Amino acid sequence: MHRFKIVKAANEQFRVQFVYNAEVMVWSENYASKASAKNCIESIKKNAPDAATVDLTKDETGSGYRFEIVESKNGEHFVRFKAANGEAMVRSETYASKASAKNCIESVKKNAPGADTVDETVSA
């Protein structure tokens, strides 16, 4: 089951995670307010399905909302989802293969729009 989670981060801030079962697929920067974290989720739900995929390892470029495939220093690959203003919204873990990074992108595109949001910062 895919879902978004709002979790507590350092210094009373908030972070967004997109998870499948127990695996965190992508996560955001820290946000000062929960409202900003919620805006991040809504933006991903709205803009990820039609976002372009740009492979930076092939010197491709892009603008607008987009997924970027990035090569890490150790030769593995990770994914960033960038907003239209160029700010990174979320990133993934590193993957040994570029195919796994592409699978991550396809999963976010397909599953984010209908995913529920769980606020783990609310006390039970």
HEC string of the chain equals CEEEEEEEEHHHEEEEEEEECCEEEEEECCECCHHHHHHHHHHHHHHCCCCEEEEHHHCCCCCCCEEEEEECCCCCEEEEEECCCCCEEEEECCECCHHHHHHHHHHHHHHCCCCEEEECCCCC
Average confidence (pLDDT) over 71-100: 96
Domains and CATH numbers, the chain: 2-114 (2.30.29.80)
Average pLDDT over residues 62-85: 96
pLDDT tens readout for residues 13-60: 999 999 999 899 999 999 999 999 999 999 999 999 999 999 999 999
Whole-number pLDDT of residue 122? 84
